[in-house]
Amino acid sequence: MRITSTSCICPVLVCLCFVQRCYGAAHHGSIKVTRNQTKHIEGETEVHHRPKRGWVWNQFFVLEEHMGPDPQYVGKLHSNSDKGDGSVKYILTGEGAGTIFIIDDTTGDIHSTKSLDREQKTHYVLHAQAIDRRTNKPLEPESEFIIKVQDINDNAPKFTDGPYIVTVPEMSEMGTSVLQVTATDADDPTYGNSARVVYSILQGQPYFSVDPKTGVIRTALHNMDREAREHYSVVIQAKDMAGQVGGLSGSTTVNITLTDVNDNPPRFPQKHYQLYVPESAQVGSAVGKIKANDADTGSNADMKYTIINGDGSGVFSISTDKETREGILSLKKPLNYEKKKSYTLNIEGANTHLDFRFSHLGPFKDVTMLKIIVGDVDEPPLFTMPSYVMEVYENAKIGTAIGTVTAQDPDTANSLVRYIIDHNTEEDKYFTIDASTGTIKTAKIFDREETPWYNITVTASEIDNPGLVSHVPVGVRILDINDNPPELAREYDVVVCENAKPGQVIQTITATDKDNSANGARFHFFLDEGHSLNPNFTLRDNEDNTASILTRRKKYSRTTQDMYYLPVLISDGGVPSLSSSSTLTIKVCACERDGRVRTCHAEAFLSSAGLSTGALIAILLCVVILLAIVVLFVTLRRNKKEPLIISEEDVRENVVTYDDEGGGEEDTEAFDITALRNPSAAEELKYRRDVRPEVKPMPRHLTSTSLDSIDVQEFIKQRLAEADLDPSVPPYDSLQTYAYEGHRSEAGSISSLDSATTHSDQDYNYLEDWGPEFKKLAELYGEIESERTT
């Protein structure tokens, strides 16, 4: 192999030698390099030539799995610059250098110090360089070479996917492919036969075979029958070295199951069967089972049973149980031992899923004969009818016979029968029955209009065997008689207008009758003939079970008579005919021209006032609201505060609360009580603590002496000016109260308590000069003074 390098360092000839111990010979490799010549000529520019270097290699290998005591010799590096004086130093770098591969830096010999595994790493890339030992300068450029690990047969073939489970249909042709197995060998497939695998069968012959090259398993016999043998265990071996002696091998197991096909027809175990069925068997019940055997499984064993002929095909039926694959024989009609004692059936069982490849093994059906023996049993009495319907008129006397039920013993013994009524409901208590004859009689008087139908149950049992009973339903219809007179269908609210005309229909009436239509379907209406001819109204029978009320005159007046009464007689068409009398109430009302009722006498007082019911309710509600307001006002007046001093007896100090609100938490000056007690305590202006003031405080030119002598009015004016000029006050009005009374009043104390206790002779007439504000006080002390004088 020839490689060209672009190095500008002068190359030298280098030889690499490799000794392959397995062959017992040493292979030497040489490196031939042409030196790159660079000449410098005066007056000429420097010329560079492309360096060329040729590499001639032998194959270099190192055996894997080397187990010798000494390091394995790999090869040798040699440079033409090496004169043998030890001046050349060889350096080895790259994969495994210094750990796996070591080099003698003087001789250039390379050795492998460890046992290598080709399956872990196939080759190593290293770099070699020769440098001057004295100057440490490279004598030639670094060269790259590869050491390959030579493979040995140290890995056996392996089946990575085993063991295998596979199926193949039974009765398959010989050579049918079952499965392909594959073994892998980790050895080098490009070197020798270490990875060349050959397959063979160790277990499973003569049923199966395997292709030695591809590993395909095939059937080796014709018509392998699942019913004979279903499961097979086949052992396949894979051997390397092309199957030669000394090769390594591995094996796997293939579990093969033959799947079923429909190759077996159904067969009845017997050709004749016999079945005993008692005559008391219920219709629709299962009376027996039959089964045909099929060696196949799954859907291949599904079958259907049918009755193909026989004298019992109309009495019995057969169905197939899909779970158990049995034929279920059921009864279609009741059995009677006295009439027929046995039946014969031909039953066929056939597969439902056929495989025409195996039709030559058929037919896939079988037939057997079944004889059914009817067993005689002691049966309960049998009624002549499945149900009875009887009739009786309402109001019939107690003990009236309404009908008879009859039952007989169907057995040859023909035992006597006893009858009873099941008293499970209240209706059963309304009838009685003769235990011997079965005659049913009434036990109460019936009213059809209350209950028109009764249902009872009669039980018949043999006297010799009371446990055998049978039941029959009996319905009793109550027949109607004409025992209810007709009556008006509803309450009528008849109105006649004041402006009615003669012959005008003001109401149409109808009647009803509790009896059925056979008794009184036709009603007759007429006025009561016991009274004189009615001059105001008359009645007309419409002959359709309705009647019309007509006026006989005009101009009815509410003021003259606001109510009329009209007696009406109603009769039915029953036999005998029944009748009843009813009275119609006719109101006289004021109507519009189109006949609409405007008002009647009962609402006249409302109409005269011109107020509706809603208006009256509204007026009443207003009155109640006004009364509530008056009561509330009076209550508030009573709770009003009395004067501080009412009379002389009420001479006690009264605490008067003035709920004056200040400016809130920020108005701290409004709550400074020092200024309220004495002006002299307020020597300086108080500012808000939550806001920095924007004006300078007023000069403190007032001393304590001047504060004592200042007039209160002047003090208040001063405080008012300060409050007006202070920008730090709250942005809303603030009430500041100064309760300073001065040093002492010239009039002295005006306390009523002090006056009452000291009995002073002071004259209070000057209070009248103080103005109207002190008028009440002047009158009060004037009365006290007069009483005191008296």
Render pLDDT for 759-775 as a digit per residue (tens, 0 to 9): 455 667 777 777 777 77
Instruction: Give the per-residue pLDDT at 676.
Output: 46
pLDDT band of 86, cuts 50, 70, 90: confident
Instruction: Give the per-residue pLDDT at 457.
Output: 92
Higher per-residue confidence, 152 vs 586: 586
**Confidence check: pLDDT of 734 > 70:** no
Higher per-residue confidence, 425 vs 756: 425
Instruction: Give the per-residue pLDDT at 419.
Output: 94
Percent of the chain at pLDDT exceeding 70: 74
CB atoms within 10 A of CB 459: 17
The pLDDT mean for the chain works out to 78
Mean pLDDT in residue range 403-408: 93
Whether the upstream peptide bond of residue 278 has omega within 30° of 0, thus cis, is no
Higher per-residue confidence, 157 vs 522: 157
**Confidence check: pLDDT of 33 > 50:** no
| N residues, the chain | 790
Mean pLDDT in residue range 243-253: 87
pLDDT band of 183, cuts 50, 70, 90: very high
Higher per-residue confidence, 517 vs 431: 431
What are the extents of the domains in the chain?
Answer: 59-150, 158-259, 272-375, 382-479, 487-599
**Confidence check: pLDDT of 677 > 50:** no
Higher per-residue confidence, 242 vs 40: 242
Mean pLDDT in residue range 40-44: 37
Sheet holding 505-512, edge to edge: 487-488, 505-512, 546-551, 537-541
User: Strands (DSSP E) along 230-364, which ranges?
Assistant: 231-239, 249-259, 272-278, 286-290, 303-309, 316-321, 326-331, 342-351
pLDDT band of 521, cuts 50, 70, 90: low
Task: Please write the tens of the pLDDT for every residue from 635-651.
Answer: 888 776 555 444 444 44
Higher per-residue confidence, 747 vs 266: 266
**CATH code for the domain defined by 59-150:** 2.60.40.60
Pairing of strands 143-150, 198-203: unpaired
pLDDT band of 609, cuts 50, 70, 90: very low
Query: Which residues lie below 8 Å from residue 182, measured CB to CB, with a gap of 6+?
Result: 159, 160, 161, 215
Mean pLDDT in residue range 573-596: 85
The answer as to CATH 1.10.10.10 being correct for domain 487-599 is no
**Confidence check: pLDDT of 754 > 70:** no
**Confidence check: pLDDT of 655 > 80:** no
Per-residue tokens: 582: 């009813």
What number of H helices and E strands is found in the chain? Answer: 7, 42
pLDDT band of 702, cuts 50, 70, 90: very low
Query: Which residues lie below 8 Å from residue 355, measured CB to CB, with a gap of 6+?
Result: 261, 262, 263, 300
What is the CATH class of 272-375? Answer: mainly beta
Higher per-residue confidence, 428 vs 289: 289
Picking from 192, 229, 9, 199, the residue whose alpha carbon sits closest to that of residue 118 is 192
Higher per-residue confidence, 305 vs 729: 305
pLDDT band of 326, cuts 50, 70, 90: very high
Instruction: Give the per-residue pLDDT at 169.
Output: 94
Mapped onto helix, strand or coil, the DSSP state of residue 581 is strand
**Confidence check: pLDDT of 394 > 60:** yes
Higher per-residue confidence, 7 vs 332: 332
**Confidence check: pLDDT of 4 > 50:** no
Mean pLDDT in residue range 332-346: 90
Per-residue tokens: 620: 């009443």
**Confidence check: pLDDT of 604 > 50:** no
Query: DSSP per residue over 71-91, as a string?
Result: PEEEEEEEETT--SSS-EEEE
**Confidence check: pLDDT of 13 > 50:** no
Whether residue 349 contacts residue 438, with contact meaning beta carbons closer than 8 Å, is answered with: no
Query: Of the segments 45-59, 64-78, 709-723, 740-754, which one has the largest average pLDDT value?
Result: 64-78
Picking from 159, 62, 65, the residue whose alpha carbon sits closest to that of residue 119 is 65
pLDDT band of 605, cuts 50, 70, 90: very low
**Confidence check: pLDDT of 276 > 60:** yes
What is the CATH class of 382-479? Answer: mainly beta
Same fold, 158-259 and 487-599: yes
Mean pLDDT in residue range 215-243: 92
Instruction: Give the per-residue pLDDT at 739.
Output: 57
**Confidence check: pLDDT of 314 > 70:** yes
Instruction: Considering only CA atoms, give the Rg of the chain.
Output: 69
CA distance readout (Å), 679 to 336, 532, 720, 721, 744: 135, 115, 14, 15, 15
**Confidence check: pLDDT of 189 > 50:** yes
Instruction: Give the per-residue pLDDT at 210.
Output: 94
* Least confident residue range of 40-49, 141-150, 247-256: 40-49
Mean pLDDT in residue range 40-51: 40
Instruction: Give the per-residue pLDDT at 45.
Output: 41
Mean pLDDT in residue range 440-453: 90
User: Strands (DSSP E) along 405-504, which ranges?
Assistant: 407-408, 417-421, 431-433, 439-442, 453-462, 469-479, 487-488, 494-497
Mean pLDDT in residue range 482-510: 88
Query: Of the segments 51-60, 77-86, 466-475, which one has the largest average pLDDT value?
Result: 466-475
Mean pLDDT in residue range 403-425: 86
Instruction: Give the per-residue pLDDT at 787.
Output: 52
Inter-residue long-range contacts of 303-307, CB under 8 Å, 24+ positions, other chains counted: 303/266, 303/349, 303/350, 303/351, 303/352, 304/349, 304/350, 304/352, 305/347, 305/348, 305/349, 306/347, 306/348, 306/350, 307/345, 307/346, 307/347, 307/348
Percent of the chain at pLDDT exceeding 90: 31
Instruction: Give the per-residue pLDDT at 6.
Output: 28
Query: Which residues lie below 8 Å from residue 563, measured CB to CB, with a gap of 6+?
Result: 585, 586, 587, 588, 601
Whether residue 549 contacts residue 608, with contact meaning beta carbons closer than 8 Å, is answered with: no
In the numeric block, the tokens 């605490």 are attached to 655
pLDDT band of 24, cuts 50, 70, 90: very low
CA distance 710 to 719: 13
Q: Which CATH superfamily is domain 158-259 in?
A: Cadherins (2.60.40.60)
In the numeric block, the tokens 């339903």 are attached to 473
